[in-house]
Amino acid sequence: MEVALLLFGLSLCLLILGFILYIFGKWLERYRLLKIQPPPHWIEILKNHFPGFKQLELAKQQEVTTALQIYMAEKDFLGFSGISVTDEMRVLLSMQLIIRTGGKNLFLDRLKEIQIYPSSEVPPLKLRPRAICMGYSLPLYPNNEELARYFN
């Protein structure tokens, strides 16, 4: 009985330690990423395509570019049907995520890739009813089935 209890305690400690290391590792990776300044052409893309970006205070612009760096580093952008993904596409799609989520990384850790299709092609739609219901029930994301399907 004592051995089983000891093994259970040890397993629980290892599980907690693994969770802490996972969270700390993610934080450390983001910290290292944010020490690097974003390329100047990203800022130009934002200024050209999002008129409101120029009107933001410098601190808010920095907050947006910080979120942009995190999204672009953590997501894989995949082009289909001959599309080659450019930096401009990556910046614009990441900015759409920032706008939709208010810059918060809520639930987006599970979103690993962003698939880009040409406008002439209809991508396969994989809706998950539970995820859509969850998306509708969140006060931050009313009527947002596009992101809700990735939460499941």
Domains of the chain are 2-120 (1.10.472.150), 122-152 (no CATH)
CA distances from 46 to 1, 19, 79, 102, 131 (A): 63, 36, 21, 16, 31
Kindly give the confidence (pLDDT) of every residue in the chain, 152 residues in length, as a single tens digit, with 9 standing for 90 and above: 777 777 788 888 888 877 777 777 776 777 777 777 888 888 898 888 888 888 888 888 888 888 888 888 888 888 888 888 888 888 888 888 887 777 666 557 777 888 888 877 666 655 555 544 554 445 554 445 555 555 44
Which element (helix H / strand E) includes 76? strand 76-79
pTM: 0.61
